[in-house]
Amino acid sequence: MAVVQLKRWNIALGSGQPLAVIAGINVLENLDLALTVGRQLQDITRDLGLPFMFKASFDKANRSSITSYRGPGLEDGLAMLAEVKRQLNVPIATDIHEPYQAEAVAAVADIVQIPAFLCRQTDLVVAAARATKAAGGWLHVKKAQFLAPWDCKNIITKAREAAPDLDIILCERGSSFGFNNLIVDMLGIGEMQRLGVPVTIDATHAVQLPGADPRTAGASTGGRREGVSIIAKAAVASGADGVFLEFHPDPDKALCDGPSCLPLDSAAGLLKTLKTVHEAVRG
């Protein structure tokens, strides 16, 4: 079983390690919100003895509508993430969408994330792999909604051909069959781990209902918020090495993917439960 390490942060993720928590907000709205959510999650994970990495996107390029909020953009977003990193002294995770973004993002983010829809884009994977390796970070790749777990082998091979010995983590976030729903096959977690990499669960995006938000008559993504904790607990019980979760003080007012987002005041209870499940399974 695989383990990856962020030595500068004394954090490890994988076999025999504590449950890793990659969590934060869906997209950057403003610095105060990012610090508020990050600080509370940092306090919770510190009390639980769990490694924590703060996640937020500077741009959400895959939107249902051209009018949907996307975020502050690369320059302002990275400046905001750098400030969160400075004030909270935590590793940063964020996603990229274009090859030209790779070096700038890897200079700030310790975990560079490839979105699910883009995980087979060769130029993006190669650029992200090289920049992440040079910066000493992790490449976090979300399994595409259209890929079988074992087909992720080609992603790993491609990334390591570009950057040998690169630390890679795969992320399960459900499979789509084209009917406004995602299905998570928990057996896929073990299948991906057998490729020699740790695996996380993105329980937030696994409950998305693409193009099915009744508030906008289908012009934005809906979600089943009540399913996040169910999928997270099931995935950890199935052997996931880490969890990827998004929170907001008032999810219904979140500027992006509110229906899939958990209220911030639920974080402590959920993470405590996930730690207990992880220890029971690994014990």
User: Which pLDDT score, from 0 to 100, does residue 176 have?
Assistant: 85
Higher-pLDDT residue of 231 and 224 is: 231
Please write the tens of the pLDDT for every residue from 134-150.
Answer: 999 999 999 999 999 99
Beta strand 222-223 with 242-248: parallel, antiparallel or unpaired?
A: unpaired
Q: Is the pLDDT of residue 217 over 50?
A: no
Which distant-in-sequence residues (6+ apart) come within 8 Å of 163 by Cβ?
Answer: 129, 130, 132, 133, 134
Average predicted confidence (pLDDT) for the chain:
92
At 61 the pLDDT is: 72
Domain 3-282: give its CATH superfamily.
Answer: Aldolase class I (3.20.20.70)
More confident residue, 69 or 272: 272
User: pLDDT tens-digit profile of 42-54?
Assistant: 999 999 999 999 9
For residue 222, pLDDT beyond 90? no
> Which pLDDT score, from 0 to 100, does residue 65 have?
65
Higher-pLDDT residue of 212 and 3 is 3
Residue 93 vs residue 212, higher pLDDT: 93
**pLDDT over 70 (residue 103):** yes
Domain boundary assignment for the chain: 3-282
Give the residue numbers annotated as catalytic, written as ranges: 26, 60, 257
